[in-house]
Every structure is written in C-alpha cells, then in structure tokens.
Amino acid sequence: MTKEQTPTTPETAGPRPRRLTYAAVLTALEGLGLAVGGVWVLVLGLAGDPDDRQQAVTLGVTLIVLALLPLLAARGLFAQRSWSRGPSVITQILALPVAYSLLQADSIAIPAGIAIAAAAIATLVLLINQETTQALGIRGPGNAPDQK
C-alpha cells in the first residue's frame, strides 16, 4: 500500500493510550463472550435434546456471526484505526438492552446483566474520552480540514 492509501496522522503515530487499550480489551471480551455463547448454544443444539434443534442451531450460528463485529472493532482499536470506534460504540449500545432484559429476570441471569451493563458503560466512557478520540485521529464536527 502507498502512503496515500494508509495515511498516518501525528495523532495516531504515537503510543496507544491506556484508555484505548482498555476499550479494546473490553470490546474483545464482549466479542469472545458472544462467540463462546454461540458455540455453547450450537453444541447444545446439535448434541443435546433441544425443543427445536433448528432454532438452537440458528441462534448459535447467529451469535457466532455477531461476535465478529466487536472482535473486528477490538482489532481496529488495538491498531488505532479511526473506523473501529463506530462498531465498538454500536456493540455497547446494543449490549445495554440485553443487560436490561437480564436484570429484569428473576434468576441467575441478574449477575450477567450487571456485568454486561458495567462493561458496556465503561467501554462507552472510554471510547468517547478525548484522549481516545485524539489517538484515533477523529475530529469533531466543524474541525474537518478545508478542501479547496
């Protein structure tokens, strides 16, 4: 690739801030959790005795595919790619209703809901932090360079 295709800005040339690393780790953990959950449901659907085998397999495959979004976002965050913040933020926003529904359950799912909510909120805070934004080379509205 040429320099024009992969430009490096002064903001992204430096070392990765801790907040960005923490956000990448949390995003990767969420992706791994989805992948593990998907494999678990898939194995139970194939080897166990589910009510509806097709539905279990479909859910397992869906969770595995959904795990790709946060895993790719985490990889981009580790590499300080500006595009990676969007998918990670989307993952966190989608995790909040899941956490809320788990918190409404009267079961052992409540601790999982607390963990998911805490991870999603912490990751959102880390992703919108000014240090993280600068490290990713993201400019705010009205700060785009003039193109004349």
The fraction of the chain above a pLDDT of 70, given in percent, is 85
Distance CA(37)–CA(11), nearest Å, equals 37
Distance CA(67)–CA(60), nearest Å, equals 11
Per-residue pLDDT band for 4 (boundaries 50, 70, 90) equals: very low
Is the pLDDT reported for residue 7 higher than 50?
A: no
Instruction: Give the residue from 141, 140, 124 showing the smallest Cα distance to 22.
Output: 124
At residue 147, the pLDDT reads 59
Is the pLDDT reported for residue 5 higher than 70?
A: no
Residue type, 64: I
Sign, Cα dihedral of 37, 40, 43, 46: negative
Q: Give the pLDDT mean for 72-91.
A: 94
Distance CA(87)–CA(15), nearest Å, equals 22
DSSP state at residue 48? S
DSSP state at residue 1? -
Distance CA(121)–CA(96), nearest Å, equals 8
What's the pLDDT tens digit per position in 30-53? 999 999 999 999 999 888 877 888
CA atoms within 13 A on the CB side of 113: 14
Encoded tokens for 88: 């990670």
Per-residue pLDDT band for 148 (boundaries 50, 70, 90) equals: low
24 alpha carbon, distance to own chain's centre: 8
